[in-house]
Each structure stands twice: as structure tokens, then as C-alpha cells.
Structure 1
Amino acid sequence: MNQEKFLHIIRCFQDINDRNIDSLGKIYDDRAKLTAMITELLGHDFLESVTGKKILLKPNWVKHSSKETDELCLRTNDQWVIAALEVILPQKPISVTIGDAPIQGCLWEKAISPSFIAQIEQLSEKAGIPVGIKDFRRRTFNPASNIPVSERNPISEYVILDIGSNSFLEPISNSGGNFRVNDYDYQQLAKNQRKGVHKYCITRALFDADIVISMPKIKTHQKTGMTGALKNIVGLNGDKDYLPHHRVGGTKQGGDCYPGSNILRRISEIFIDLANKKQGTTYYLLLHRLSYLLWKMSFPKNTHNLGAAWYGNDTTWRMVMDLNKIAIYGKADGSLSNKPQRQLYSLCDGIIGGQGNGPLHPDPFPFGFVSFTNDSALNDLCMTTLMGFHPDKIPLIHTALKLTDIHNVLITLDHKKINTLQDLEPYSIHTTAAPGWDDYLNAN
């Protein structure tokens, strides 16, 4: 487990004129090029290590497409996942599981296409190795149809870990239920996340795997600034009743949903709390609508959002840090070890990135980089730099870097050693941040 920390980056363009969406987007259709890049990134030693192992691939499958460009920038591209399988399966792993926990309103059958499933089945049959595709969610709810579906997977398929005072959330917790997550009943969340108690509902697929390969899509993010290797781990948690995203109220009221305080916004929050307790009834739609109208009456700016989609969100990054700790140190008996229990790798899809209102409604931008690493913080530090953002302004990355020695690492770009972040800056591209972060991240 004392493996040297590394990050290998490959540039997907040679001529700056090829750094455009049309040229980079065509790479997804070039299977030979994709498999060559992935083989190059993974390297001979890693590929040898997967022989006889159980592999978990964790893409970013956050939501089904709502517009045509989503196929490029919303999720980890299907062809990136398939190409990774083509590289890994010949090494004869015991099995491969591909899974994620999208948002509860994601329509799985639209996000995971029949064509993708068919290609996976063909590769599995050809290699003679079982490859499973798994939806890790325990609960789904489509607000438009107002139909909640609980217990999609039995609780036996999960491990409940209570990390208690070891949680990054502990300093901002109280015993009164101050945490919130969109479209969930906060009273259920309060049972799992409160002062001294910090529980997560983790898929057993994590603990069954010998090697975990996270496969994030590089995007901007409303609540954490950017989403890459660190944030992608959240999809190992199968139930958002365990997953705080913000604290109720404005910053003057001890919350982090919006800056300052505002009576209309606070009443709006009360109505959305009532609505989430009434999901599946006729009251839900009425209460949800009242909450929306009250919020609009407060004349919100980009930093004012019911989901705490702004740079002052001081909750989501802490939850992400907890889950990264669990991914490495968590045990199947529900405890945390003092020693790493598994090596976590990330194989990042940044050929086309997502900018603007990410992670759910991004616009494509020609990022042009893919990467492979065994240190998520190191990866996101470099990806953020290449996006043209200041890493110190993103609490998730700033905090994660305190826990890793970035002076004793190997970073390469096209096989050339990178000694400082300044070496990457000539390749950075202007990236439009999420609305609640734009003025903050793009300020000089």
C-alpha cells in the first residue's frame, strides 16, 4: 500500500487548432485511439496487477441526458468505459462490476443505453469474464411524476459505516437536524448525520473489489467548484438519506444555503422541508410550488440557491472528504482501519469537459486531457489548474492537499516530468464556472 503517488496526464491534441469540440469529440468514436491512450496511461505494471482480481469501475453516471450535448459532457463517455474494458479484460481479472448511484431523478434506462449494455455483454462473452452493470441507488424519486420508489436494493447490499467524530462534518454539526439534501426528508437525514453520528450507506461492491478504478468526467460543480476524482467517489453511497449537501439557513443564521439572511428565503426553506415530507401525495406539488414562488420573490442572485449552489457551501466538500476516507480505509464490518484497505485509482475522462452549470446541466468545453492516478487530490489539483481555476479557492481540493505530500510525487504530461504547477499553466483553458462560483473563481 506504500506505492509512490503518481499522476500521468496525456494531452489529446497536438496542435492548438485541434483543441475544439468537433475535433476532440471525434476521439470518442475512435476505439483504437481510446484503447491506445488507456493502455499508455495504465502501464504494463498496473495491467499485470489486475490478473486474478475483482475489479470495480465507478463511472460518473449522474443523470440521463436532457440535451444533445450531454452525451459529450454530462457523464463519463460510454466509449471511454468500453475502451477501458477492452484494455482490462485481456488481463484476465476474475470479474468486473460497473456501477454508480445517480441522482434519484435519473432515468436509468435513458442514461445506460441498450447499445452500451449490448457492447458490454459482447466483451464479457468474448473474454469469458463476468461483467455486471449495477445501479447502486436504494431509492428513486422523479419530482415531475411525484412517485417515490424505495428499497430498490435490499439493505443487505450495503454497509453502514458510522465514522463519528472522525467526520469532517463534525465541526459544523448540531443535534437539531441542520443538514439538508435536495428532494429528501431532512428528518431522515438527521438520524444519520448529527453531532457525534455520521453514517454512510456504502455499496458492498466497494468491499468486494480488490481494485477500484474511479472514472470521473471532469466538470464544474455547483457545490464544490469542480468535480473530478475526489467528488466521483460520492456515487459509492447508495442512499442520500445519509448524504448532507448543505445546512439550512443563510450564513448569518449558522447555515450555508445562501449568504446573509432573508425572511422569504427562510420561509421558502420551511415549505420545501414540508414538501419533501409529503412526497407521493398531492400536497407535495403544492408545497414545492409555494417554496419556488417565495424564493423567486426574494430576487435571488447566482449565489442564492435552495440547493446551496455557491462557493460558500461549507458542507458538501466535507461529505466528499468523508467518503474518500471510507473508500480507502473502510472495512466491510462497518469500521475504519488505521491502514489503507485498498488502492483507489482514477482514470479520468477529460477529452470533452463540462463547464457552466455543472454537474447536472453543463455545457461542453474542449478540455483535451485524460489522466490516471493513485492520488485523487493530486489529480484534481492539476485538473483544476488546467481549467484555469485557483485550487486554493476550492475548499475540497485545498483541504485534501493538506493530507497528501505533493512534494514527493511523480507527475507526467505526455511522459515528461512536471515539476511545478506553473509547467501546466501554458496548457490551461478558460473554463466558465458554475453560476454561484463564476465571479469568485474567475476573479484575479
Structure 2
Amino acid sequence: MDMKPICLSIRQENGIDYSPVIPYDPDENFPELEAIKISNKKNYVYRSIRQCFIDLEMDKKNIGTSEWSPLSEIISPGYTVVIKPNLVLHSSKDEMQEYLTTHPSVLRPIVDYCWKAMKGSGLVVVGDACSSEADFDLLVERLGLKQMIDVLKQRGVNVELRDFRSVKVMTENGIWVGEQEVAFEQPQSQVINLGKNSLFAIDKYKHVDIHGAGYDIKSTMRHHTGDIQEYRVSKTVLSANVVISVPKLKTHRKAGLTCCLKNLVGINVDKNYLPHFTMGSKNMGGDEMPVIDHKNIKRVKFYNLIRKYIIGYSWKLIGKPGVRMLRLLKDRETKFTEINMNAKKQVTDSLKKSSENTDLARWLHNKLSGQSVAAGAWSGNETICRMILDLNRIFLCCDREGHLRSKTDRNIFYIVDGISMGMGNGPTSPIPVKAGLVAAGWNGYMIDTKIVGLFGVDPDSITLYKMAKGCPWLFSNAEGKCLINGKSIAESSRLPIELIPPDGWSFRKKSTLPEES
């Protein structure tokens, strides 16, 4: 792909929100979309994304005419296009869902302009490999995504909604207790071994125990040992002519920030292939948590042996009994604490309910280690950053057969949903913030770091972006002008919103350099 004179467009406006009406039709007639139905409800998102395409000068000669087709720069008739949102997980509260996941009103104009470029011939796939424990059907119903796709199909658009996952689990109180039954054919996938090209192919990772997203530690370590550095990637993504990644902008307890780079974790269909942290505290040689008291090290080492050699092999059998046992222990501790505090009455029903809903795995970890940080959810977690960058290399450099090349043969584009952001302890316990931001561009690293900089944060204070600077394959189409609301981004440019870090993180402020004369 040729270098672009403008490589990034950001649009930000305070007070804007998602369109409330499915299927999120535009609220005005655009000359290039004459056949599209018009909504009587405001749709700021549709217009903002369309304006990003104009800012980027896509199909420049036809802008303002009925012939304008911005995505025809990367899409031709007959293509298969994958639109990859961030569908991470269903929230425990309906009203918080928009702060966790890509909203379908952001996907709607992308589908429309894809179909325009296809001229009625081709396939659009909207899909993701969300968290193993996510209820995909509940998630897409709650978002309105399924309903939107169904309406577009009725209007003649060849669009499909797919769950890319091959492994799904059930949880209780934060503990995996079994696998979900899969009533349909397993999604196709390709195992890709990066070998010595992986960021895990260094001496440090020959002497540590790697923990994945779940309890099947033996599987994660089997896929990441020595010259074997494997990921299991969706063949739908690998075989696509075009992939448009549409991340939800939010903070993340393990990685610091979810945006373009982090969104690529969702091309891997089996979460047991994904290293999340190395077991143990920093003073034990791991990056699961910061330094712990010396007196707790023996207990953590013993617990790690249980995780590695017992839970790792039998979690499906002991998951439910384990939840019951830990709940009893937790309740007993709560009652004992109440007695010692000379409480005037016994534990109330509401307290019992709160105890039942506690993440029991996190509670046990805290009791053993004396450390509130668990599962690599802190700024010292280097392992998850290496995993994210490995998957970006696959995305950017592997061909349709999964062979590593200097660059991929599929076209790639990014559009960011930052209208509503989950800040603080995201993604699952976010502080809801209306940021009113969308962005579009050609390079994921450029988009992420420019947005971080606009929040007044130094990208190098986030380990992922500091590490990314040593990955030359990340920087294709990273040169060119960057715009915010149609104007060049300057060193002093700032968004009128503070980026709230997760617990255990400190986002270093970006210094303001003098403007060039």
C-alpha cells in the first residue's frame, strides 16, 4: 500500500452520543448513499466517521458526488471484508455495555461503505473472538448488533455475524468451572508458529511458568516453549481480502490501554494460546504482581505448584466444588470479622449476597500473597505486551496460508470507537466517560500513540507502546499528516478529557515541546 499523505483523522466533540435507534441509519441524505434510509433521530457517529474518510482524502476526486466511494481504495467487487470489533464480554449491567464494547452504530457506516465499494458483489463478515466466558448471543442482542445485521440482510446487504471462538467456558464468581456446549461447527482456524520471530523467543522466557487467560496452564506453556511460539488464528481473518479493525478505546488493567494494537487479540480463537503473565511476583522472577513480602513467597510458590500440576489438569472437575469451598471460606471469614468487630447484628442478607458475588479467585490470591494485584493486572506486566505484539505481527505480516512475510497481502484499515470510554479499572469495572471521539487511519501504532498523546500522556509510560518502538514491522503507513477536527495535530494539542489509569498504573504526563517556527 502506498504511503498516505494523511494517515490519521480524529474527530472529537463533547456531548455527542450513539444513535438510539436500530439499525442506526444516517440522519441526512448523502449524495453517495442515495438508496439508504434516513432516520429522524440524530446520528452524530455516522457523520463523524464519514468526515474522517473525507479528512483522509479517500477517493478524493469523487468527494461530494454520488460516485464517492471512500473504501474503494481498499475494497473491490467480489472481496471478502472482515470488520473486527471489540466485543470482549457481556457486562453485568446493561447500561455499562457501551463502555466495554464497540457500539454497532460505529459499525453501521463501515458496513454501508464496504457494500458501496463492493457494488453488490462480495461478503462482509462482522466477527470477533471475545473472552472465553462471554455469552455471545446475549452480548450481540444487548448491543443491538444482531438486530442491525438482520435488518441489513433484509435490505439486500450480504453481511454475516460470526463468533470466531473455538473454546468457550462457564464461570462462577470469577472461576472457570466448565466448557460451554458448542452446538454448531467449530470455526476454522490456523495454528501459526512464530518461532524465533516471536517476542517470547528470548532466554528470560525459558525459565518461567507462563499463565494464559484461563486455568489450562499446561496448554499455554506447550504452545510457548523454545522455538515453539504458537497462536491459533481465525481463518476468516487470514483469508480475508480486507480487515477493518474497530477497537473500543478504553483503559485496561493488564495492558494499560485497549485500542488498535490490543484489539488484535481477538483474532486468536483459543485463549489458551495467549500468554497473559508469568507466574509469581516481581521478586520471584514473575510479572503476575509487584514485589510481595518475603513471608508470603513460600505460600505463593506452593499455590503455583497447585495451579500448574493440579488445577491445570483438572479444572473442569474441581471448578464447581472449588467455588463452593472458597465461598464457604469467604463467608466464614466475613462472619468471623463481624464478630471480632463487635457487630450489633449478624451478617445481613445483603452482605451475604455481596460475598457470593465476590471474585473468589482474586480473594484467594490476596489471602495467599498479601497483594491486591492479581493475574498480571499492573503496569509491570511485560508478558501480555509481547503477546499483543506477536498477534499484531501475524496480522500485519502473515499471508492467507499463515506464512510469515515482510508484509501481508490483505488490506488493513482502523476505525476507533471512543464515543463512550471505560476508564479506570477497565475493561470489566470501568469508570464511564463520554469522550465523543472517533478516529480512522492506516497504522494502528500511530493511531494509539497519537490518541494517548492527545490525552496528555506520554505513550512510553505504557509498556506496550514503549516495547512496540522496537518492532519495525509495525510502522508501515505510519508517516503522513495527522489531523484532529480537520487541523494538524501539534505537540500542544490536547483533548478536554483526563485519561484515568487503572489501579496499579501511573500514566506519565507528556511534556509540551515548543512549536517549530
TM-score class normalised by the smaller sequence: 0.7 to 0.9
Alignment counterpart, residue 280 of structure 1, candidates 305, 309, 316: 316
**Which amino acid counterpart does residue 24 of structure 1 have in structure 2?**
I
Q: Residue 207 and residue 26 in structure 1: after superposition, are their counterparts in 2 closer, same or farther (change >3 A)?
A: closer
Question: What secondary structure sits across from 1:69 in the alignment?
Answer: helix
Q: Does the alignment pair 1:67 with 2:88? A: no
1:225 Cα deviation from its structure 2 partner: 0.7
- Identity across matched positions, percent: 25
What are the equivalent positions in structure 2 for 1:288-437 lying under 5 Å apart? 289=326, 292=362, 294-298=364-368, 300-302=370-372, 304-305=373-374, 307-402=375-470, 403=472, 404=475, 408-418=479-489, 420=490, 422-425=491-494, 427-437=495-505
Alignment counterpart, residue 282 of structure 2, candidates 229, 247, 251: 251
CA deviations 1:151-171 (Å, max 9, x no partner) are 777677111110101011222
CA distance in structure 1 between the aligned counterparts of 2:319 and 2:386, rounded to whole angstroms:
33
CA distance in structure 1 between the aligned counterparts of 2:503 and 2:377, rounded to whole angstroms:
8
Q: Residue 156 and residue 79 in structure 1: after superposition, are their counterparts in 2 closer, same or farther (change >3 A)?
A: closer
User: Larger radius of gyration, structure 1 or 2?
Assistant: 2
1:442 Cα deviation from its structure 2 partner: 6.8
Alignment counterpart, residue 114 of structure 2, candidates 84, 88, 104: 88
TM-score for both structures, normalised by structure 1? 0.88
Question: What secondary structure sits across from 2:17 in the alignment?
Answer: helix
Q: Does the alignment pair 1:157 with 2:188? A: yes
CA deviations 1:29-71 (Å, max 9, x no partner) are 6743322222222344242232312211000000012124323
CA distance in structure 1 between the aligned counterparts of 2:368 and 2:233, rounded to whole angstroms:
38
Q: Residue 34 and residue 440 in structure 1: after superposition, are their counterparts in 2 closer, same or farther (change >3 A)?
A: closer
Question: What secondary structure sits across from 2:482 in the alignment?
Answer: strand
Alignment counterpart, residue 147 of structure 2, candidates 93, 100, 118: 118
Tell me which moved more, 214-223 or 182-191.
Answer: 182-191
Over the aligned positions, Cα root-mean-square deviation in angstroms equals 2.8
Q: What does residue 48 of structure 1 align with?
A: 72
Tell me which moved more, 356-365 or 195-204.
Answer: 356-365
Q: Is the 8 A contact 1:433 1:442 kept in 2?
A: no
CA distance in structure 2 between the aligned counterparts of 1:301 and 1:5, rounded to whole angstroms:
49
What are the equivalent positions in structure 2 for 1:65-214 lying under 5 Å apart? 65-92=91-118, 94-113=122-141, 115-126=144-155, 128-144=156-172, 146-149=177-180, 157-171=188-202, 174-175=205-206, 178-214=209-245
1:28 Cα deviation from its structure 2 partner: 5.8
Tell me which moved more, 82-91 or 169-178.
Answer: 169-178
Q: Does the alignment pair 1:234 with 2:265? A: yes
CA distance in structure 1 between the aligned counterparts of 2:257 and 2:106, rounded to whole angstroms:
20
CA distance in structure 2 between the aligned counterparts of 1:365 and 1:134, rounded to whole angstroms:
29
CA distance in structure 1 between the aligned counterparts of 2:510 and 2:487, rounded to whole angstroms:
31
Tell me which moved more, 164-173 or 102-111.
Answer: 164-173
CA deviations 1:198-232 (Å, max 9, x no partner) are 11101011122111100001000111110100100
Question: What secondary structure sits across from 2:420 in the alignment?
Answer: strand
Q: Residue 345 and residue 443 in structure 1: after superposition, are their counterparts in 2 closer, same or farther (change >3 A)?
A: closer
Q: Is the 8 A contact 2:253 2:425 kept in 1?
A: yes
Tell me which moved more, 276-285 or 190-199.
Answer: 276-285
Equivalenced residues, count? 429
Gaps of 5+ in 2: 28-43, 60-69, 330-360, 512-517
CA distance in structure 2 between the aligned counterparts of 1:270 and 1:284, rounded to whole angstroms:
20
Q: Residue 26 and residue 199 in structure 1: after superposition, are their counterparts in 2 closer, same or farther (change >3 A)?
A: closer
TM-score for both structures, normalised by structure 2? 0.76
Q: Is the 8 A contact 2:17 2:45 kept in 1?
A: no
Gaps of 5+ in 1: 14-18
CA distance in structure 2 between the aligned counterparts of 1:295 and 1:270, rounded to whole angstroms:
14
